[in-house]
Amino acid sequence: MTLELKPHLEDFQVYRPDIVVLPSNNLVDEYAFSRVEEKILKNPYSVLTLATGSSPLGLYNLMIQAFQRRNLDMQGLTTRNLDEYWPLPKGHPKSYDRFMRDNLFNHINIPESQRYIPNSAVEDPEKEISRYQSVLKQTGPADLAILGIGPELTCHIAFNERGSTPDSRTRLVQIDPETIKANARFFDGDENLVPHQAITQGIADILESKEIILIAKGKGKAQGIQRVLEGPINSDSPASFLRLHPNVIFILDEEAGRLLEKPIQCL
Ligand code: F6R
C-alpha cells in the first residue's frame, strides 16, 4: 500500500536539500569527513546517529586516521546506530554491532557506555524497542545523522523500507526482498543467511536530527537518488521524506548523481 503524503501536506514544509556531486569515491569520503570533523570540533559532546554498510566506510576510515594520526578526540561523543538485524546471536560476525566495532569503535576513543545500538540477540524485540526508544529520548536529538540509502528503488533509510511513514518510530520491520538480495554480499552471497527482520529507528526519529548527511556511491544508487530528490514525497520512496527536513545534504559520487536533471552543486 502506498501512503501518499498529500492528505497531510499542510502539516509539513518541503525543503530542497543541498546536493554535492563529487568525481570520486575518495572525495565523497573526504567531504563527508570534513562535515563530521567540523561538527566534532565545534561541539566535542555531539550526539551522532550512525549507519553501517559500505557507504560510510571511507568516512569511518578517515575518522580513525584523524584519531590515530592527529589525535582528533572523540571521547565526548555519543553515538546511536540506526538499526540492527534481529535475531542474530550476540557478537555475530555479520551483526551491525560487530560491524561498528570492527570498522570504527575499536580504533577510536568513544567510550562503550556512550555507544548505543539495538541488541540483535534479545528474545523479546518489543522490550528492546522500548529500551531503544528511551535511549533516543534520553540522549536527545542527534546533532548529526549519517545515512546511506537502500539499493535500486528501495530508497530506504535505516531499515525504513517502502511503506514506511514519516511519523514512524523505532520498531521491528520486515526487510524488503530487494534489500535482502543486496545485503547477501555481507553474508557470503547467501540470501538465506540474511535475517528477514530488523529493529530500526523510524523516519520521525531520523527527522529529529539537527543535521543530516546522506552518502550515496555507485550506479546502483542512481535511480533511487533521482526518485528521492525529483520524484514525489511518499512512502514508496522513504528517503524522500528527508525533503521535509531543513538541513540535509546529499553527498554523491558522479555515478550516484548521474540521473539528476536539475542543476546541482559540484564542489
Ligand atoms: C544501515 C543502513 C542502511 C544502509 C543502506 C545502504 O545501517 O542504515 O540503510 O545505509 O542499506 O547500504 P550500503 O551503504 O551498503 O549501500
Rounded percentage of the chain residues whose pLDDT exceeds 70: 94
What is the Å distance from ligand 1's center to 182 Cα?
10
Q: What is the pLDDT of residue 161?
A: 98
- Range 216-225 average pLDDT: 97
Question: Which pLDDT score, from 0 to 100, does residue 174 have?
Answer: 98
* Atom 1 in ligand 1: residue holding the nearest Cα: 52
**Which amino acid appears at position 182 of this protein?**
A
Looking at the DSSP bridge assignments, the partners of residue 4 are 234
Q: Are 116 and 80 in contact (CB under 8 A)?
A: yes
**58 within ligand 1 shell (Cβ under 6 A):** no
> What phi and psi values does residue 83 have, to the nearest 5 degrees?
-165, 170
AA letter at 267: L
Q: Say how far apart CA 139 and CA 80 lie, in whole Å.
A: 9
In this prediction, residue 4 carries a pLDDT of: 52
- Whether residue 265 has pLDDT greater than 80: no
Which of 25, 55, 132, 237 for a ligand 1 pocket mutation test, highest count of atoms within 8 Å of Cβ?
Answer: 55
Q: What percent of the chain has pLDDT over 90?
A: 93
**Three-class SS state of 34:** helix
CA 179 – CA 135 distance, rounded (Å) = 27
Query: Which three cell numbers mark 152?
Result: 535500486
Q: What pLDDT shows up at residue 251?
A: 98
Q: How far is CA 247 from CA 40, 46, 66, 209, in A?
A: 17, 16, 25, 9
The DSSP call for residue 175 is P
Yes or no: say if 60 and 36 are a contact pair by the CB < 8 Å rule: no
DSSP 162: T
Q: Give 60: exposed, middle or buried? Use CB within 10 Å, 0-12, 13-18, 19+.
A: buried
pLDDT, tens digit, 9 for 90 and up, residues 18-48 = 999 999 999 999 999 999 999 999 999 999 9
Q: Which atom of ligand 1 is nearest the CA belonging to 57?
A: 14
What whole-number distance in Å separates Cα of residue 163 and Cα of residue 141? Answer: 24
